[in-house]
Amino acid sequence: MNNLELIEKSSLVITITGTSGWEAIMFQKPVIIFGDVFYDIFDCVKKIKNPAELPVIVRELLHKHTNYEETLRCVT
């Protein structure tokens, strides 16, 4: 399947440090990361330090979206 189609239809993206997290931001989707990435400046990106935190953070982020203007400023 096409990665962008999956991201577009998802509610949330979980990645170690991949570009799928950045692509999710472009679709205004929340992202959970396990490593260091340049796009962790967004409020809808949370870094997991302890895998036990995952359920709580998923519930927290499911209703968040990136701010379109903030995304636009970052990209330009």
CB-count exposure of residue 24 (10 Å: 0-12, 13-18, 19+):
buried
For residue 11, name the pLDDT band (cuts at 50, 70, 90).
Answer: very high
* Res 20: pLDDT: 95
Query: pLDDT over 90 for what percent of the chain?
Result: 66
* Contact assessment for residue 32 and residue 12, using Cβ atoms and an 8 Å cutoff: yes
* Res 52: pLDDT: 95
pTM of the model: 0.87
Whether pLDDT at 68 is above 90: no
Mean pLDDT of 38-57: 92
